[in-house]
Structure 1
C-alpha cells in the first residue's frame, strides 16, 4: 500500500482509549466525529491543507462500542474536500446507526443531493477557519443553503470566535437550523461572562434555530487534560463555557468526541476521558439525556425519535 507522509507534527489518534467511568445513557449519540480514508481507497483532496493518518470506519465503529455510544454523526473532513465517498461508505456500512454532514460544491446536481440523502446525509458544513480551508464566497453558500432546505437538512458552521462579528449577518440569514461547531472556538482564557463569549450566547439566545456543539475541550483548553482517566477535572478551563450553554440552551446542544482529532499537535486525547468530561458540563441525568440522546435523535433521526 502506498504510504503518505502525514502533516509534520500531527499526532496519530490514541489507539488504546480507556473505558469511561461515566456510563452513557442508553441511545447516546457521538454527534461529531470523522472518518479519514483509507487513502488508497478514498484519496485525500489535492487541495488539502493537512494530511491525516488513516482513520477508517471500522476503527470509528469499534470506538463507538468501546465508549458506550449507540450512534454516530460523521462530519466530512476538509482533507477529503467535497469528495464524500469515504463518508457515504461509512454511512452505508453503519446499519442506519450513523448520519452524515457533507461538504458539497455549488454545481452538485439534484440527483447527487438525493443520493447523499438516501445514504444518510442530513446537512452540509461551511468552514470559515482560514488555516484549514479556502471557503466559498458567501453568495455561493447562500445558494447551497437554499438548495438543501427542501431536504430538511441543516448547516454546520465552523469558525473562530474573533470572526463572529463579521459572520453574524450571514449566520442569522440562513434558512435552516444552524449548528455551530465547538462553541465557536472561544478563548477560554477570557471570562465566560466576558464580551466575546457573551456575543456567542446572544447569537443563540436571539436565534432559536442556532444550536451548538459543546465539544472539543482538548482543542480549546490551555491547561490541558491534567487528570487521570475517570477524574472529573479534565479540561477544567473549558468546562464552564460548555456547562453554561448546556444549562441555558438544554434543547439545542450536542456533544461529540471529534475522533480522530485532526490537527492536534500538543497532545492526543484519551477518548474515554472525553466521555468522563461530560459529567462536568451536564451534571444531571436530565441534562445528560437531552445532550446525548434527545437532541441528536430529534435532529438526525426524527423518524425514530417521534
Structure 2
C-alpha cells in the first residue's frame, strides 16, 4: 500500500470520458500527458508541491485507445521531481509508441543522459511558474541546454504570460529547439490582439526554433466547460494558423492540480477542429509536427 494520500482538494481524473465526436486522423499523437506513480512503486518526490492520485501507464494507454490516438508524449510530472523512473517505465512498455520529456538536474552524468535517450526521452522540461518551484532554474537550464543539444533534444518551458517580459531575453538565447507549454498561459480575459499576447506571438515570429503547445483550455478558460472553453479558442486558433509547422496538442491527462473542475477528455478532443479547422492543419498539429520532433530517428 502507498504511503501517499492525495491532497484533500485533489480532483480525480475523469473515470468515464465521452467518446469524441471528432475522429482524430490515424497516427495522431497526444503530445502532452503524464503518469503519476503508482506511488507504491514510484514514490513522489519529497519536495513536491502537490500529492496526486495514481494515474498509471495502463490507464493512459486505455485513454489513448478510447480517444482514438496512436502515440503519446509523456512529460515528467513535477510531483516526481527529477526521478524519471515512472515516465521511463511507461516508455519501456509502450512498444515504441511513446516518447518522453524528462526533468533533470545539472549534476546528471552523460551516461544517465544517454540512458534516458535510449529509453525514448527527447526533451527536458523546466518550470518557471513561480508557485510550483522553490527557485527559478536559470543556472540549471543554461548548464543542461548545451549538453542536450548534442543529443538533438529540445527544451520545454512552462511559464505564465505576465512573466514573459522578464524572461524573454533569457529564453531567446537558448541554443536548442524550445517548446512552450500551453501558449505561455495567456490571460484570455484580455484581447487576443492585445499587447500581452502580442509578445508571445513575437516570440514565435522572430524565433523559428520556438514551438508552442495549444493545449489546456481547462487551465486557461474563464468561460469554463459549460461554454466549451470558448474564450480560449481565438488564442489557440491564431497560433495554429500563424505557426502551423510548430504547434503541438495534448490532453494534459491526468490534469494535475486543477481546482475548479475535472475536464472530460473527449470534450477536449472535440475542441481540435475549432482551433485547427482544416484537415491539413489537423494533420500537422496531430501527426506531422510531433512525429518530426519526437520520432525523427
Bin the TM-score by the shorter chain: over 0.9
CA–CA distance in structure 2, aligned partners of residues 221 and 80 of structure 1: 27
1:3 CA drift (Å): 4.8
Any stretches of 5+ residues in structure 2 without a counterpart?
none
Calculate the TM-score normalised by the size of structure 1. 0.96
Query: Map of 1:131-142 to 2, 5 A cutoff?
Result: 131-142=131-142
Moved more, 4-13 or 267-276: 4-13
1:2-36: per-residue Cα shift (whole Å, max 9, x none)?
Answer: 35221231200001011000000111000000000
- Residue 132 of structure 2 aligns to a residue in which SS? coil
Pairs aligned (count): 297
1:134 CA drift (Å): 2.3
Equivalent pair of 1:127/1:135 in contact (CA under 8 Å): no
Paired residue for 1:213? 213
1:190 CA drift (Å): 0.3
Any stretches of 5+ residues in structure 1 without a counterpart?
228-233
Equivalent pair of 2:127/2:137 in contact (CA under 8 Å): no
Match of 2:260 among 259, 266, 273: 266
CA–CA distance in structure 2, aligned partners of residues 63 and 118 of structure 1: 26
Paired residue for 1:230? none
Is 2:77 aligned against 1:77?
yes
CA–CA distance in structure 1, aligned partners of residues 135 and 67 of structure 2: 34
Q: How well do the aligned residues superpose, as a CA RMSD in angstroms?
A: 0.9
Runs of 4 or more, structure 1, over 2 Å off, are 2-5, 134-137
1:226 CA drift (Å): 1.3
CA–CA distance in structure 2, aligned partners of residues 135 and 115 of structure 1: 27
1:150 CA drift (Å): 0.2
Paired residue for 1:51? 51
Paired residue for 1:26? 26
- Residue 200 of structure 2 aligns to a residue in which SS? helix
Is 2:63 aligned against 1:63?
yes
- Residue 163 of structure 1 aligns to a residue in which SS? helix
1:181-205: per-residue Cα shift (whole Å, max 9, x none)?
Answer: 0000000000000000000000000
Paired residue for 2:144? 144
Equivalent pair of 2:31/2:73 in contact (CA under 8 Å): yes
Equivalent pair of 1:254/1:295 in contact (CA under 8 Å): yes
Calculate the TM-score normalised by the size of structure 2. 0.98
1:108-166: per-residue Cα shift (whole Å, max 9, x none)?
Answer: 00000000000000000010011112245412310110110000000000000000011
Match of 1:250 among 244, 248, 260: 244
CA–CA distance in structure 2, aligned partners of residues 168 and 24 of structure 1: 34
Is 2:234 aligned against 1:240?
yes
Paired residue for 2:203? 203
Equivalent pair of 2:126/2:137 in contact (CA under 8 Å): no
CA–CA distance in structure 1, aligned partners of residues 2 and 44 of structure 2: 13
CA–CA distance in structure 2, aligned partners of residues 22 and 137 of structure 1: 39
Paired residue for 2:225? 225
Paired residue for 1:176? 176
